[in-house]
């Protein structure tokens, strides 16, 4: 009995370490070679080998599924590009046109901050390494920071994993829980957009921050915080410290195959902004036009964050499953060696007994 306990403990810890960061993986080789002490009967060993083989098959399949989904997520980003490019160009031109005017829009109005809404984007599923944990840890730090600043806060959680996390912590005020299934669409981002819009315009909150994982590469994603509202009328993307990036500089990630392996290229595209012809008229008040344009922009920013978050989640699952497969292969190899040794030892023992018996008879 003790043997089976040992075996489950061992295999689960091996898979867990594989799912976490690579830092811990470097210490994994202790399991290699003679380090593994197995005290089991042959039959138990065989069933362990079988179960490890099954696990390996599952993790391998999950890895392939994640890889295929990364591609689909990337297609969604690519198909939304014409829209976002045109939008940024128009916004840039509008901005040049109305620089001299005093614009007062509800979405750009900066008020003294009393309450902050934090939109946290997490994944729908687990088994993707530390992806969800990283985002939630960042959310916790941000909440602590806000507390220290003496500000009120409320959380809008998007994604099943985040919802479960915040449900276990009832002391964190939760505004709304949302879920996104599959590839994020305009409807999903619109739901978030409407919510933060109404919160901000009704002055229930004075600032809206968006926390999501920025997709850096297949093995890395950084949780970052971006200020959604108040918007800067110039259409810049700002982080919490007020550092702004011009939105005309846009990044696109692309999954490619290089020498038979999946790699990611991050492409920086500078969107061409043509000089604005001064004769363009405004059919309505510039304020009205910006009022139509900024919600579109807000929505496209949220959609973009959702897409990046999904891509990061899938990439994290891919690498977690890849190392889980590696570990399963190694574990299976070690178990097979132990199994063969025991089998050999048993055969040797039986032969010795037979030889000894024959000797005794002959003597």
User: Residue 181 interacts with other proteins (CB under 8 A)?
Assistant: no
Does residue 100 belong to the site contacting other proteins (CB under 8 A)?
no
Each as own residue / partner, the long-range contacts of residues 337-340 (CB below 8 Å, 24 or more positions apart, any chain) are: 338/36, 338/38, 338/45, 339/42, 339/45, 339/46, 339/49
Among 22, 288, 340, 348, binds other proteins (CB under 8 A): 288
Selected binder of other proteins within 84, 122, 319, 323 (CB under 8 A) = 84
CB atoms within 10 A of CB 246: 15
The distance of closest approach from Cβ of residue 187 to other proteins in the complex, given in angstroms and rounded to an integer, is: 8
Query: Which backbone phi and psi does 223 adopt, to 5 degrees?
Result: -70, 125
**Burial status of residue 35 (CB atoms within 10 A of its CB: 0-12, 13-18, 19 or more):** exposed
Structure tokens at 269: 């595209």
Q: 278-314 burial string, b = 16+ CB within 10 Å, else e?
A: eeeeeeeeeeebbeebbbebbbbbbbbbbbbbbbbbb
2 binds other proteins per the rule CB under 8 A: no
Nearer to other proteins, 34 or 284 (CB): 284
User: Does 289 engage in binding with other proteins (CB under 8 A)?
Assistant: yes
User: How many residues of this chain bind other proteins (CB under 8 A)?
Assistant: 29
Q: Contact between 281 and other proteins (CB under 8 A)? A: yes
Among 22, 72, 219, 282, binds other proteins (CB under 8 A): 282
Q: How many Å apart are CA 130 and CA 151, to the nearest integer?
A: 29
Active site residue 40: no
Is residue 190 involved in binding other proteins (CB under 8 A)?
yes
Write down the catalytic residue from 3, 40, 128, 193: 128
Q: Which residues bind other proteins (CB under 8 A)?
A: 79-80, 82-84, 86-87, 90, 94, 185-186, 189-190, 277, 279-284, 288-289, 291-293, 296, 299-300, 303
């Amino acid at each position: 009995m003790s043997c089976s306990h040992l075996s489950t403990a061992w295999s689960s810890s091996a898979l867990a370490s594989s799912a976490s960061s690579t830092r811990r993986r470097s210490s994994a080789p202790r399991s290699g070679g003679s380090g593994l002490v197995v005290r089991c009967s042959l039959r138990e060993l065989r069933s362990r080998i079988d179960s490890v083989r099954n696990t390996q098959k599952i993790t391998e399949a999950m890895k392939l599924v994640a890889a295929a989904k990364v591609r689909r997520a990337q297609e969604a980003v690519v198909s939304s590009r014409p829209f976002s490019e045109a939008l940024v160009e128009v916004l840039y031109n509008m901005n040049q046109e109305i620089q001299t005017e005093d614009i007062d829009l509800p979405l750009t109005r900066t008020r003294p901050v009393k309450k902050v809404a934090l939109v946290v984007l997490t994944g729908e599923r687990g088994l993707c390494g530390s992806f969800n944990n990283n985002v939630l840890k960042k959310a916790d730090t941000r909440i602590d920071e806000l507390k220290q600043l003496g500000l009120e806060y409320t959380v809008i959680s998007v994604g099943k994993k985040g919802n479960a996390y915040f449900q276990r912590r009832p002391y964190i005020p939760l505004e709304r829980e949302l879920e996104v299934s599959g590839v994020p669409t305009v409807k999903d981002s619109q739901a978030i957009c409407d919510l933060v819009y109404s919160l901000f315009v009704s002055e229930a909150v004075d600032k809206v921050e968006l926390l999501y994982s920025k997709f850096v590469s297949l093995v890395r994603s950084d949780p970052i915080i971006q200020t959604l509202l108040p918007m800067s009328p110039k259409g810049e993307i700002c982080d919490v410290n007020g550092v702004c990036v011009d939105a005309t500089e846009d990044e696109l990630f692309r999954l490619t195959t290089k020498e038979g392996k999946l790699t990611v290229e991050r492409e920086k595209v500078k969107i061409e902004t043509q000089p604005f012809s001064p004769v363009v008229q405004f059919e309505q008040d510039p304020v009205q036009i910006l009022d139509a344009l900024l919600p579109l922009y807000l929505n496209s920013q949220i959609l973009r964050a959702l897409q990046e978050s999904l891509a990061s989640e899938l990439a994290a699952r891919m690498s977690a499953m890849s190392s889980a497969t590696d570990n399963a292969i190694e574990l299976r190899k070690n178990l097979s060696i132990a199994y063969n040794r025991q089998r050999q030892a048993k055969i040797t023992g039986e032969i010795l007994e037979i030889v000894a018996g024959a000797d005794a008879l002959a003597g």
